[in-house]
């Protein structure tokens, strides 16, 4: 917590000095890294998942401004809060994805119990960013339509934000090695570890090429997030990166893509992106990720973030 307060002080100093800083990201998420900022939530609908719902409603509408939950034509008052990170089991909206483990910070509590509605006063549900780039609502699996508390051992049910589309995770077409001059040969490559002091983006990454896993965590957060990825040496591509040494933006050429294929555990927000590896001028291997911190200037929306291996 002391480190986070120090970082926030540095952000404030940056504002005084006129530096370009991630203003849109300086929010409750600094302390609740798996949270959804309620001030930006507005009014959203969460549609019916393709799983057995039992007594659960088909869909929900949640209006953060009026603190109201709507379902089956009935309205309920709710309260929002950011809580210390919790781990919950979740029945995925798509049945083929089964039950998964996620981390959450944003909790919503039902505070009213209309006489003509479900008896769910006191029930709590969660909001989180899913791997499709939208917001999911995790609601308890109701044992009945009475005030009976859900069984804690029963996974929550995922409702996807309206308009969410399941991406097609087709791999980038690979090219022969002689057509990929900037490729990184990951065969027999030792694990790679990366670190950066950063806000609102992972501070540590580790790559393991035996079972092809990417693990990452945030500054001062002990919870590990893990994806399985596929390595594809695709056509040469030029990308712009914020140099890890702070020297500014430069253009690099890459062939080697790391494409997440499955979530083992943890945060899903970084899933639906492509990552890159390349050999840097120092003779080590750089990892390139999207700019999750969001601190880009005008015309820099495409610029990615470079991580270098730990010394």
pLDDT band at 11 (very low <50, low <70, confident <90, very high): very low
Are 219 and 199 contacting, i.e. CB atoms less than 8 angstroms apart?
yes
| Stretch 149-171: mean pLDDT | 79
SS3 247: coil
* Per-residue model confidence as pLDDT tens digits over 29-84: 446 878 899 998 999 999 988 888 888 999 999 999 999 999 999 999 999 999 99
Beta bridge partners of 276: 257, 288
Percentage, residues of the chain above pLDDT 90: 53
Six token digits for residue 153: 């051992």
Q: DSSP 3-state assignment of 156?
A: strand
For the chain, the structural domain boundaries read 43-160, 177-308
Lowest mean pLDDT among 88-97, 142-151, 240-249: 142-151
Alpha-carbon radius of gyration of the chain: 21
- For residue 257, what are the contacts with CB-CB under 8 A and spacing of at least 6? 172, 231, 232, 233, 234, 274, 275, 276
Give the count of alpha carbons within 13 A of 132, CB side only: 17
Residues 274-298 have pLDDT tens digits of 999 999 999 999 999 999 887 788 8
Q: Which residue has the tokens 């909790």?
A: 107
Rounded distance, CA 142 to CA 121, Å?
A: 12
From 294, 285, 308, select the one nearest 22 (Cα to Cα).
Answer: 294
Give me the helices (H) in the chain, please. Answer: 2-17
Q: Which residue has the higher pLDDT, 138 or 271?
A: 138
pLDDT attached to residue 28: 37
Q: Characterize the bridge pairing of strands 304-307 and 225-242.
A: parallel
pLDDT above 50: residue 23 = no
> For position 180, what pLDDT does the model report?
96
Q: What local confidence, expressed as pLDDT, does residue 118 receive? A: 85
The pLDDT-based confidence of 184 (bands split at 50, 70, 90) is very high
DSSP 174: P
Residue 151 pLDDT grade (very low, low, confident, very high; cuts 50, 70, 90): low
């Amino acid at each position: 917590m002391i480190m986070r307060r120090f970082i926030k002080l540095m952000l404030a100093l940056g504002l005084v000095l006129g530096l370009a800083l991630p203003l849109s990201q300086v929010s409750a998420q600094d302390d609740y890294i798996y949270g959804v900022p309620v001030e930006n939530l507005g009014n959203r609908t969460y549609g019916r998942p393709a799983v057995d719902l039992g007594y659960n409603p088909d869909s929900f509408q949640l209006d953060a401004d009026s603190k109201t939950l709507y379902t089956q034509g009935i309205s309920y008052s709710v309260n929002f809060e950011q809580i210390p990170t919790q781990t919950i089991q979740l029945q995925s909206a798509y049945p083929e994805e089964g039950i998964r483990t996620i981390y959450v910070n944003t909790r919503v509590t039902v505070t009213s119990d209309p006489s003509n509605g479900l008896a769910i006063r006191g029930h709590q549900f969660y909001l989180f960013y899913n791997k499709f780039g939208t917001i999911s609502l995790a609601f308890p699996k109701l044992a009945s339509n009475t005030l009976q508390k859900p069984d804690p051992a029963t996974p929550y049910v995922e409702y996807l934000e309206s308009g969410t589309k399941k991406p097609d995770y087709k791999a980038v077409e690979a090219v022969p090695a002689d057509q990929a001059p900037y490729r990184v040969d990951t065969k027999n490559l030792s694990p790679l570890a990366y670190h950066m002091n950063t806000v609102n983006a992972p501070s540590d990454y580790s790559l393991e090429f035996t079972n092809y896993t990417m693990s990452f965590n945030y500054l001062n957060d002990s919870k590990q997030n893990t994806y399985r990825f596929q390595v594809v040496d695709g056509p040469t591509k030029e990308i712009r990166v914020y140099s890890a040494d702070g020297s500014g933006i430069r253009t690099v050429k890459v062939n080697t893509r790391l494409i997440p294929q499955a979530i083992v555990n943890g945060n899903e927000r970084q899933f639906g992106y492509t990552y890159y590896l390349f050999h840097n001028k120092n003779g080590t291997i750089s990892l390139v990720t999207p700019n999750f911190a969001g601190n880009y200037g005008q015309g820099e929306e495409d610029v990615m973030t470079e991580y270098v291996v730990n010394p």
